[in-house]
Chain A
Amino acid sequence: MEFKNETIRDFSIEKERNAIRSALNSIEKSLPFEIPISIGRTEKFSANRFVQKNPWSPELVVSRVSYSNVHDLEETIQISKMNWGPWKERPQQERSTLLMKVAERLVSKKDFIISVCIWETGKQITEAEIEFAEAVDFCRYYATIANDQLSPKNINLLGEDNLYYYQPKGIVSSISPWNFPMAIFTGMCAAPLVVGNIVLAKPAEETSATAFEITKCFWEAGIPKEVLHFLPGLGSEIGEAMVTHPEVAVVNFTGSRDVGLSILKAASLVSPKQRMIKKVICELGGKNAMIVDADADLDVAIQSIIPSAFGFQGQKCSALSRLYVHNDCYNKLKERLIASLDGLLIGSPLDFANRIGPVIHEESYLRLLRLQKENEKFLTGITSLYPKEGFYVAPSLYEPPEDSEMWNSEFFGPILAMQKISTFAEGIQLANNSDYALTCGVISRNPKHILEAKLKIDVGNLYINRGITGAIVHRQPFGGGKLSGTGAKAGGPDYLHLFVEGKTFTENTMRQGFSRDTLQ
């Protein structure tokens, strides 16, 4: 199998624009989406529902999501245990082929899925397009890698056969976030499935409709409903149950640091009926820095900073939030950045000219407004024009003092802090001075500094002379260390190994001094 990245559509073609526009406009009349719980072949709705409002017109309800509970989970586990055997025993090639079909199925429903995602999240069209391509990439990439790299390895001697092969770990709880409901959700289901695990998918409450559309593509492509279950609901309820259930072998979590750390703790406790050590994969937050060197090309710097810090309203774990700028170009960059900030078009993603949309929900909106208020005295630049209806938070730039919280806490919003540095080395030291180690950027034309950055900056993804978000499957495996996660690299060659266990067979084939090979 050969892997090729899914292409991004060329928006300068009118036909392409029209197709997505009509899909996007058609969503409103089918609102709200009623999202069921899907356990094996049964689908059901619960009395209690989570309500996701449209971020730019909060009076509209986009989705009503059924809460699944402990009993649903128990039922799911029973079905899973019965159906795991046939699924894991299928040849790898078959499962990989199925995943390839999932990719095709996704592509065939592209405009609709992207539209649902935009209505749930307020994501800008090109960002949604790129995210969708990533979802497709995950399916194809993991299918390819599983097929090519996880085949059994034989080491046979004259009288001894050795076989090393990979066995899926069992039931995997995939608990995914709302910020990349297409890409991350798909990736977190595709990887464990393709190597033969059972997946219990728990999407974020906010983006369950998008996740449900994607899950349907998996089923329609031929992934049995008995091996991929859809369990929407609250993190504190079904999420927690999925972590602590004794039959769950792997907890695959992407989300906030606090939840991640509590999952690690909860999963380390062995309950009475539990017969395995749970594995936890955590991809958590970031407090990502960029260093702008004295000799930086400021055009490149601004074109990297703006989308990295404010793209999808700063709601990416890879988003830029700490900017360290060399003395020599500090004022010039600041001035241009402020001007550029003020030119950002903010508004509903239905208008494709807008660069920045609303944040995900009221809670986020109020939290970010509070943060902005608290740090008002450090404010240096802010986008002044934006709609007052909807959850819009103006992108803003601050110059906080060194001891400010702005340098440490993850905000998940369009808030950027900047600080002067007098040497590049100081920039590296500040960039490293963080609990997180996810992404970092360097804008420099000094080859010595670039080399130094590569050697010394402690992050999972270091980007040089470009933006620090938008990792592409296979080209830029994504994930970080320190408190940013357990070191998984999604979209990279090692990711699948997290969902399998190595097994060794050794067979003595010698009988009375002869063997298969010596007899010939």
Chain B
Amino acid sequence: MFTKQMQDDDKEILSIAKTIDASGGSLYQKFIFFISSKIIFFGFRYPKLKLQIFKFIDVLPSLEPKKIYRYFKIYLFDEDTEIPVFLKSSIHFLIHILFLDLIVSFLILKIVKIFAKLFILTDSPRNLKTTNVTTRPRTYDILGELALSPKEAKEYLKQYSELIKILPEVHPEINSKLRTNISIKCSGIETRLYPEAEEKSIQYLKEALRPILRSAMNKGIGINLDMEQYDLKSIITQTAKDLFLEPEFQFYQHFGIVVQSYLKTSKDELVLWKEYTKRRGTPITIRLVKGAYLEYERIKAEERGWTSPVFDTKRETDIKFEENVLFLLESYPYLRSAFGTHNLRSLSFILYHTTKKSISDFEIQMLYGMAGKYKASLDSMGIGLREYSPIGALLPGMAYLIRRLLENTSNQGFLYQMSLGKNLDSLMSNPKEESLNGI
């Protein structure tokens, strides 16, 4: 049942959404927004083709450049997709008789690299120019292959310390929203993380993290521990709790952690974090996200015969996200909020409630290369916005690229719904409402 109050809230949220959607950035950004929604629409109309393209992009980094076309043919022309057979065979025929294999291979590589470049800030910390650093508050993340040995983990650690060295010192009085921040993927810097040996894993991870935290703290840089698959959640969470309480770190205000709203336990986590910060006496930042390993969690749960730890529907996740937003805001100043979302309804919901509660110390976080139009709108509205900015070689960063592409082309995604030409009102509906719009 909907109360009058909730309906009024929803009306307000809709009007904020309209403002964000309308004012949207430069002509260029609007153009990009339009183009990406068309591409997404295309991707969704041809799901088999989309799957093949993603599989192809996944294998691309392992291919010798001259073999690229050969694989392109196998993945896109030989497999069953929505491309008509005559088209597939005639394109192949043309390329073949004109000896274009090499040129096409090169072109494909070029195109994928351009795509990757859209989502990856730069290929190495060394290339971070100071000018680049100051344009927008960022949280930096280092991409790469999985760390599968202590040696590889050490290389990651080295890149993080290099990054910290390169980044300029942060003025102590700076507004939290503008403070430079680094996101750390724990499984990248410590490979010995095993759920069955949680206590030891925590000990290893703490040892790996301490030097990073220390040097970041010395320069006034914020540190955020990313959350990964469910298997590691308990280890990462407990490590953070232990570390942030150590005397050396206890009073540093710029540590953060992630809570994933797609987890059925997300609300309980927040409650625990609030109790924890009361004990710690210094606030921490919680980045509330919807979650990034949805398919993975479902597959793993099925394989093991476990109940899936994540919600089954996007709607339930959205409902939980809004509940969590409210809880986080109510937990201020113990918990400082950072909201990771590109969803217009979620954004508007957040803005409405922060205004209502007169909380200004919060941030919106978006991924580098996504939702440029919204970012511009939020900028013009004076809302703090931080970009999650990956750094790493383009090709090994492919797993990240694929995650972004998947996210962008998800049929549940907001952008896709927009691209279908659905009107804003229906897209903005409260997820709690039994909606006929299917999102």
Contact = CB atoms under 8 A, between A and B. Distances in A.
Mutual binders A and B: yes
B305 A7 contact: yes
A345 B192 contact: yes
Tell which of B78, B150, B194, B204 has the most Cβ of chain A within 10 Å.
Answer: B194
A446 B234 contact: no
B62 A343 contact: no
Interface in B138-194: 145-146, 148-152, 191-192, 194
Contacts of A5: 305
B55 interface: yes
A410 interface: no
A10 B74 CA distance: 40
A302 B200 contact: no
B71 A299 contact: no
A7 B63 contact: no
Interface string A326-362: 0011000000100111110100000111000000000
A302 B191 CA distance: 13
B195 A11 contact: yes
Tell which of B149, B150, B195 has the most Cβ of chain A within 10 Å.
Answer: B149
Interface in A445-499: 445-448
A284 to B, nearest CB: 29
Nearest to B304: A8
Interface string B189-232: 00110111110110010000000000000000000000000110
A445 B148 contact: no
B58 interface: yes
B74 A14 contact: no
Using C-beta atoms within 8 Å of the partner chain, give the interface range for chain A.
35 or more
A12 B195 contact: yes
B196 A17 contact: yes
Secondary structure class of chain B's binding surface, majority of residues: helix
A329 B62 contact: yes
Interface stretch (A144-152, A237-245, A290-298, A508-516): A290-298
Contact of A447 (B58, B75, B196): B75
A339 B149 contact: yes
A336 B305 contact: no
Interface in A395-431: none
A342 B200 contact: no
B200 to A, nearest CB: 4
B200 A352 contact: yes
Interface in A194-233: none
Using C-beta atoms within 8 Å of the partner chain, give the interface range for chain B.
35 or more
Contacts of A6: 305
Contact of A297 (B62, B149, B194, B233): B62
Nearest to B52: A447
B148 A11 contact: no
Nearest to A306: B148
A295 B62 contact: yes
A151 to B, nearest CB: 28
B305 A10 contact: no
A298 B145 contact: yes
A447 B78 contact: yes
A370 interface: no
Nearest to A4: B305
Nearest to A446: B74
Contact of B201 (A294, A296, A329, A353): A353
Contact of B198 (A12, A294, A297): A12
B62 A296 contact: yes
Contacts of B201: 353
A353 B200 contact: yes
A125 interface: yes
A126 interface: yes
A206 to B, nearest CB: 24
B62 A342 contact: no
B151 A343 contact: yes
A340 B306 contact: no
Interface string B304-331: 1110000000000000000000000000
B235 interface: yes
A140 to B, nearest CB: 13
Tell which of A6, A296, A299 has the most Cβ of chain B within 10 Å.
Answer: A299
Contacts of B304: 7-8, 10
B231 A12 contact: yes
A445 B151 contact: no
A14 B74 CA distance: 48
Interface of A: 4-8, 10-12, 14, 17, 125-126, 294-299, 302-303, 328-329, 336, 339-343, 345, 351-353, 445-448
Given A17-B198, A445-B55, 19 more contacts: A10-B195, A11-B194, A12-B198, A12-B235, A294-B62, A294-B63, A299-B148, A339-B150, A340-B148, A341-B149, A342-B151, A345-B192, A351-B200, A353-B194, A353-B197, A445-B59, A446-B59, A447-B74, A447-B78
Interface of B: 55, 58-59, 62-64, 67, 71, 74-75, 78-79, 145-146, 148-152, 191-192, 194-198, 200-201, 204, 230-231, 233-235, 304-306
7 contacts: A4-B305, A10-B195, A12-B235, A294-B63, A343-B191, A352-B200, A448-B78
